[in-house]
Amino acid sequence: IAEDFGYNDPLDRDRLFGSNLALVGLVLSLPLSACIGFATDVVRSRRLLISATVLAGGLSTLWTGLATTYNELLICRFIQCAAMSGSVPCVFSLMSDWYSENERNAASSVFQAAMGAGILIGQCYSGFTTNLGWRHPFLVSGFATVVSSFLVLAFVTDPVRGGREGALNDMLSEGVEYNKRPTWKTCLASVQSNASNRLLILQGLFSSIPYGAMFVFFNDVLSSNKGLTVQDATFVVAVFGIGSAVGGIMGGVFGT
């Protein structure tokens, strides 16, 4: 990609297409991701929200495959990561109303495994189709994502909020709608007052550093500096996708 945009210096390649893209996508997009996650508990239709979020991610991925300038790549990366991160809490919100408390761990583990499988498939497909150019996997992935957004719109149904919460059964059976909505103040208060939340946030922050570095730089290091072919380097990185899928399933099984 760097060579296609006229950047042949290895330092420019690592800085512009490694660090900067990761910074824009994984850090600067966080406020927008948080807003999407917050909107999950505010909007009436979570189905429409997740469909729109997935559509935005798909269109930005298609745009990546058609980009002609570096700034376009930055914008696309920003939208992609915001949409991806923002869609996760929306999915968990839906699952909490589709499944009972005893079923949620298993359901969430399947979702986590699907995310790991997506990483695995994407890494393998892009690595083994290098002869078709770097734009090809973005166009294929973008098209598939756009299609999936319409599939969500067509087949996913909005469950009743709180419908699988035992404490709300009596209220819902009387036809009373559960309409409690969070505010920024209550969200901030829950983080500040709950030690478990603070510990989980810190754990997630620091444990994600090696995870992020692995997917940003590891493939490039193996293929450019360690003599592996792109296909072999891709396979090594794909192993982490397998581990992510297996870990998600095992966590759901034993968590239940």
CA distance to 19, 38, 41, 111, 184, per residue, from 189 (Å): 33, 14, 16, 29, 8
Residue pair 74/179 in contact by the 8 Å Cβ criterion: no
Q: What is the pLDDT of residues 140-184, one digit of tens each?
A: 999 999 999 999 999 988 887 766 666 566 565 655 566 666 676
Q: 3-state DSSP call for residue 56?
A: helix
What was the pLDDT predicted at 86? Answer: 85
Can you read off the two tokens belonging to residue 16?
């512009």
According to DSSP, residue 51 is labeled H
- 106 dihedral zone (left: phi>0; alpha: psi -120 to 50; beta): alpha
Residue pair 136/45 in contact by the 8 Å Cβ criterion: no
What was the pLDDT predicted at 234? Answer: 77
pLDDT of residue 239 exceeding 90: no
Query: What does the DSSP assignment read for 153-172?
Result: HHH--PPPTTTT-GGGHHHH
| Of 240, 193, 237, 195, residue with least CA distance to 219 | 237
Average pLDDT of 183-208? 75
pLDDT of residue 1 exceeding 90: no
Helices (H) and strands (E) in the chain, counts: 12, 0
What was the pLDDT predicted at 10? Answer: 77
Residue pair 1/137 in contact by the 8 Å Cβ criterion: no
Question: What backbone phi and psi angles, to 5 degrees, belong to 43?
Answer: -70, 155
What was the pLDDT predicted at 59? Answer: 95
According to DSSP, residue 44 is labeled S
Query: What does the DSSP assignment read for 227-248?
Result: ---HHHHHHHHHHHHHHHHHHH
Can you read off the two tokens belonging to residue 159?
């469950």
Residue that is written with structure tokens 């269109």 in the block: 59
Residue pair 125/247 in contact by the 8 Å Cβ criterion: no
**Mean pLDDT, the chain, integer:** 80
Q: How crowded is residue 44: how many other Cβ atoms within 10 Å of its Cβ?
A: 10
